[in-house]
Amino acid sequence: MTAVNPAPGNKPRAPRLGYVYVVFAAALWASSGSAAKFLFNSGISPFKLVQLRTTISAALLFIWLFVRDRNVLAVARKDYMYFLMLGIALAIAQFTYLYAISKIHVAAAILLQYQAPVLIAAYTVLVGRKRISLFTVLAILGAILGCYLMVGAYDIDILHMNRAGIISGLASAVAFALYSVRSEYGMQTYKPWAILFYALLFAAFVWNILEPPLSAFMNAYSAAAWQWILFIGLFGTVLPFGLYNEGIKRISATRASITATMEPVMAGVISYSFIGETMGIWQIAGSGLVIGSILLLQIKQEPA
């Protein structure tokens, strides 16, 4: 890559701020999952929603970056293919996750997507030729087990669920892992928000080819549906992915993906606080495991 907007160092200071960013991203993702389920129940297909989501989020982020610092938008022509591949990974990750939600329990879809830390760690070792510490391995195992308990997967008969939904959930894990590791690579040259913008731009481009251009915008939606669509575009896409990228820059893709397993924990907290749902002993134990795994990562701060 050619350094157009070089990032000041691969691992900025204040790594703990990276964990804070990713936890906030997880909270926003947690709140958007239920919004997506509402839209599916209202008759909006995953194909339409992902076109709406990517197009709206790319437009919103472009406006913000253009007003704030348009120089961030400058990229080298030789890197267009990199951003196209990153955009395809993001397009696949968003669609497969939404499609999984439309076919199976939201909890099961979350659990399947959060197999991504294992894939990212494997990529780090096999492709990146880097060693990961015992702390990181234990954190991955603890986070996945905690996620399993938190979403109540022990009460879900995954083997008898919709097969397409299961495959889509696993595909979302692969695509999310690919997006994470390739974003980290791009941050050697570009800033996190620039990487997200071009990923969203090419993702929107892909979904405006796979679906007739802007066709999802031509449908008649209720005012409530539009509110949730805009909510998903801004608070379910732009802000959480931007914060997630900022986290990757500070703590690595492996640690950021493990920290992102806070999503089901945050979903549980939101349900407890605003809907009055109770948390069982296993969910509380799962929350503790996830939080403990994230704290374990901070014992050793060397790159994973």
Tens of pLDDT, residues 125-147? 888 888 888 888 999 999 999 88
The amino acid occupying position 21 is: Y
Which pLDDT does position 37 carry in this prediction?
80
Whether the CB-CB separation of 112 and 170 falls below 8 Å is answered with: yes
What is the Cα–Cα distance from 5 to 13, expressed in whole angstroms? Answer: 19
Q: How far is Cα 109 from Cα 98, in angstroms, rounded to an integer?
A: 9
Provide the 8-state DSSP code for 215. Answer: G
Q: pLDDT band for position 295 (50/70/90)? A: confident
If we measure between CA atoms, which residue out of 247, 188, 182 comes closest to residue 7? 188
Which residues lie closer than 8 Å to 163 by C-beta, 6 or more apart?
A: none
DSSP-based helix, strand, coil % in the chain, nearest 5: 80, 0, 20
Note the pLDDT of residue 3.
Answer: 47
Considering only residues 148 and 6, tell me which one the structure prediction assigns the higher pLDDT. 148
Return the structure tokens found at 97. 């996750």
Yes or no: say if 282 and 152 are a contact pair by the CB < 8 Å rule.
Answer: yes
State which amino acid sits at residue 283: Q
Task: Give the integer Cα–Cα distance in Å for 135 and 140.
Answer: 9
Judge whether 1 and 79 are in contact, CB under 8 Å: yes
- Give 96's pLDDT tier (boundaries 50, 70, 90): very high
CB 110 within 8 A of CB 33: yes
Angle at alpha carbon of residue 50, lines to 73 and 18, rounded to 5° = 55
pLDDT in tens, 192-251: 999 999 999 999 999 999 999 999 999 999 999 999 999 999 999 999 999 999 999 999
Lowest mean pLDDT among 18-27, 97-106, 203-212: 97-106
| pTM flag (> 0.75) | yes
Q: How many CB atoms lie within 10 A of CB 181?
A: 22
Mean confidence (pLDDT) of the chain:
87
